Amino acid sequence: MRQLQLSIFSLLFFFLHPSLSSSPQPQSLQFKLHRRGPVGPHRAPHLNPLFLSDLRRQHWIRSTIKRNLESSKSYRPACHQSTSEAFEMPIGSGAYTGTGQYFVRVRVGTPAKPFLLVADTGSDLTWVKCRRHTDSMKEKGNGDGVRVFKPEKSSSWRPIKCSTDLCQKTLPFALATCPTPDSPCVYDYGYSDGSRAQGLFANESATITLSSGKKTKLHGLVVGCTTNSSGTSFTSSDGVLGLGYSATSFASLASSLFGGLFSYCLVDHLAPRNLSSLLTFGPTISSSLIPSTPRVTPLILDSRLTPFYSVSIKCISIDNETLDIAPEVWDISSGGGTILDSGTSLTVLADPAYKAVVSALSRKLAGLPQVQMDPFEYCYNWTSVGTELHVPKLTLHFEGAARLEPPSKSYIIDVADGVKCIGFTSAPWPGTSTIGNILQQEHVWEFDIKNRRLRFEHSKCQRH
Ligand SMILES: *[C@@H]1O[C@H](CO)[C@@H](O)[C@H](O)[C@H]1NC(C)=O
Ligand SMILES: *[C@@H]1O[C@H](CO)[C@@H](O)[C@H](O)[C@H]1NC(C)=O
Ligand SMILES: *[C@@H]1O[C@H](CO)[C@@H](O)[C@H](O)[C@H]1NC(C)=O
Ligand SMILES: *[C@@H]1O[C@H](CO)[C@@H](O)[C@H](O)[C@H]1NC(C)=O
Ligand SMILES: *[C@@H]1O[C@H](CO)[C@@H](O)[C@H](O)[C@H]1NC(C)=O
């Protein structure tokens, strides 16, 4: 559902700006949603909501980076345990619900209950929809049964007290409210559409299945429990799985226990619900999904970009021709840089890069009949395109000679029947670029936090 994404990303904004959560509508959340030209005769049915949520997310990314620049806090991971064990969770496209997100199935609590969470490398908080027996939150069906976490039924549930250092110093989205030292650490956020949600943090466990087939528990996770929400926001998933790089994220804890790395393979973003791949913590699985010669580039864990994972682009080429883009665009210290984000759908390029890429691609496609399809700048009537048409080949060249050569469907994307659009959006310069999940699809991505490197390779993401 479209509003779900708005909620998630605007609430993330609130998490990071707890001081704003008491004022109902921070100005920065008020976007002009159709800022690129008038609404055309054809509306992209599934991508408009994506774009909308992407916009909000880009704002959130910019404000996070700004906040990081202003503070000197940075996360240093604990020692990584060496292990040959791994665990994995199914991950698939949420397109069947109309979102541009990927969903992971995660089992939370004791006994373990399954939840469908948005896999988000741009988020450092994991939370689930939750109901305490005293609450009167209305349960809304999401098409396949109501999944609401009931903390009183979980023997591993331990609310985090508001008097703890964890609440007061580490969880930046926690409220300062602390009536008694034993009161729970709470968060409170508002949505862009005026709805609100409230929750509390707890120390909780998740049940995982090791590669050996053995089930075990992951203890000491920080899990947010949303106890009260109003509005229609949370209807297609049960919460968020925080895969970002920070002290309390699920990814940091799980990867520190499993070899210091995690990976995911994203199926086509329009794949049906029954096609899923794997999110893996630990080393072994990559051997079955990553062929022997993956591409490798440094994984930049820069405190200025926390909790995001960042990569260094050297250049972009189209049909072997290097585009003329100023190197500052790819340089974090010059206000640029690039993050890899599973929670953003369309790839966002800082304006100088956007202009160069889109004009080169559109020049190559100049013979095709154009259609207007808000919010994209270039869309084409593809119905009469024969197989002989040469689709320009886009290549991202990373530091360390690794090249990403996405399939053309990842950047000239299907937007409506017979209509394809150049699938990039622009971000103001100076600013960060974001490699979104559509450009990442049909590749396996391994985030090797311990060795600070990113490995990737083309894969159909079929499970064995
Ligand atoms: C969670 O609880 C376990 C056991 O009660 C404890 O060892 C651990 O330190 C706690 N972790 C956090 C983040 O509070
Ligand atoms: C939940 O939200 C509703 C409306 O926003 C409010 O009336 C109610 O008091 C809230 N419940 C709790 C437990 O905070
Ligand atoms: C997935 O579902 C589609 C119908 O929606 C069906 O045609 C296909 O065979 C299913 N694939 C698998 C792997 O179950
Ligand atoms: C790009 O270079 C490769 C290898 O040099 C060549 O095979 C390919 O035909 C070139 N593509 C274009 C569009 O020039
Ligand atoms: C694309 O062109 C075909 C005829 O060539 C036309 O029938 C169709 O309506 C066009 N589609 C759009 C979206 O303009």
| pLDDT at res. 304 | 82
| pLDDT at res. 389 | 85
| pLDDT at res. 125 | 81
Q: Are residues 76 and 185 in the same domain?
A: yes
- CA-closest residue to ligand 1 atom 13: 220
Q: Can you give the residue range of the structural domain that contains 217?
A: 9-281
**Residue 309 lies inside a defined structural domain of this protein:** yes
| pLDDT at res. 17 | 27
| pLDDT at res. 150 | 92
What whole-number distance in Å separates Cα of residue 51 and Cα of residue 345?
Answer: 8
Q: Are residues 198 and 331 in the same domain?
A: no
* pLDDT averaged over every residue in the chain: 79
Q: Are residues 270 and 319 in the same domain?
A: no
Amino acid identity, position 229: S
**Residue 290 lies inside a defined structural domain of this protein:** no
Q: Are residues 325 and 196 in the same domain?
A: no
What whole-number distance in Å separates Cα of residue 462 and Cα of residue 464?
Answer: 6
Cα(157) to ligand 2 centroid in Å equals 23
| pLDDT at res. 271 | 94
Q: Phi/psi zone of residue 239: left (φ > 0), alpha (ψ -120 to 50 degrees), beta?
A: left
Ligand that lies nearest to the alpha carbon of residue 205, given by its number in the listed order: 1
Q: Tell which residue, 319, 414, 409, 410, has the closest CA to residue 361.
A: 319
How many domains does one find in the chain?
Answer: 2
Q: Tell which residue, 177, 269, 234, has the closest CA to residue 10.
A: 234
**Residue 14 lies inside a defined structural domain of this protein:** yes
Q: Choosing from 124, 238, 341, 374, which is the catalytic residue? A: 341
The answer to whether residue 341 is catalytic is yes
Q: Are residues 59 and 168 in the same domain?
A: yes
Strands 261-265 and 443-448: antiparallel
Q: Are residues 125 and 20 in the same domain?
A: yes
**Residue 287 lies inside a defined structural domain of this protein:** no
| pLDDT at res. 35 | 17
Taking the chain, what is the end-to-end CA distance rounded to the nearest angstrom? 31
Mutate to test the pocket of ligand 1, among 203, 221, 248 (most ligand atoms within 8 A of CB): 203
| pLDDT at res. 375 | 77
**Residue 392 lies inside a defined structural domain of this protein:** yes
Please return the burial class of 428, using the count of CB atoms within 10 Å of its CB with bins 0-12, 13-18 and 19+: exposed
Decide: 245 and 307 in contact? Cβ < 8 Å: yes
The answer to whether residue 374 is catalytic is no
Q: Are residues 227 and 309 in the same domain?
A: no
Domain CATH for 121: 2.40.70.10
| pLDDT at res. 25 | 24
Cα(345) to ligand 5 centroid in Å equals 27
Q: Are residues 62 and 84 in the same domain?
A: yes
| pLDDT at res. 16 | 28
Cα(367) to ligand 5 centroid in Å equals 15
**Residue 3 lies inside a defined structural domain of this protein:** no
Residues of the chain where predicted confidence (pLDDT) is lower than 50: 1-50, 52, 72, 134-144, 190-195, 232-233, 285-286
Place of tokens 């998740």: 206
Torsion of CA 133, 109, 143, 33, to 10 degrees: 90
Backbone angles phi, psi at 48, to 5 degrees: -60, -50
pTM for this model (two decimals): 0.83
Q: Are residues 104 and 250 in the same domain?
A: yes
Cα(383) to ligand 5 centroid in Å equals 7
Q: pLDDT tens for residues 280-303?
A: 999 854 455 555 566 899 999 988
Q: Are residues 55 and 189 in the same domain?
A: yes
Which numbered atom of ligand 2 lies nearest the CA of 135?
13
In residues, how long is the chain? 464
Alpha-carbon Rg for the chain, nearest whole angstrom, is 21
**Secondary structure of the chain as H, E, C letters:** CHHHHHHHHHHHHHHHCHHHCCCCCCHHHCCCCCCCCCCCCEECCCHHHHHHHHHHHHHHHHHHHHHHHHCCCCCCCCCCCCCCCCEEEEEEECHHHCCCCEEEEEEECCCCEEEEEEEECCCCCEEEEECCCCCCCCCCCCCCCCCCECHHHCCCCEECECCCHHHHHHCCCCCCCCCCCCCECEEEEECCCCCEEEEEEEEEEEEEEECCCCEEEEEEEEEEEEEEECCCCCCCCCEEEECCCCCCCHHHHHHHHCCCEEEEECCCCCCCCCCEEEEEECCCCHHHHCCCCCEEEECECCHHHCCCEEECEEEEEECCEECCCCHHHHCHHHCCCEEECCCCCCEEEEHHHHHHHHHHHHHHCCCCCEECEECCCCEEECCCCCCCCCCCCEEEEECCCCEECCCHHHCEEEEECCEEEECEEEECCCCCEEECHHHHCCEEEEEECCCCEEEEEECCCCCC
Q: pLDDT above 70 covers what percent of the chain?
A: 73
Q: Are residues 270 and 340 in the same domain?
A: no
| pLDDT at res. 57 | 62
Q: pLDDT tens for residues 67-125?
A: 665 654 555 555 555 567 899 999 999 988 888 889 999 999 999 999 999 898 988 88
Ligand 1 site residues, Cβ closer than 6 angstroms? 158, 166, 203, 219-220, 222
Which numbered atom of ligand 4 lies nearest the CA of 319?
13
**Six-digit token string for 212:** 């050996």
The last residue of a domain, from among 251, 281, 311: 281
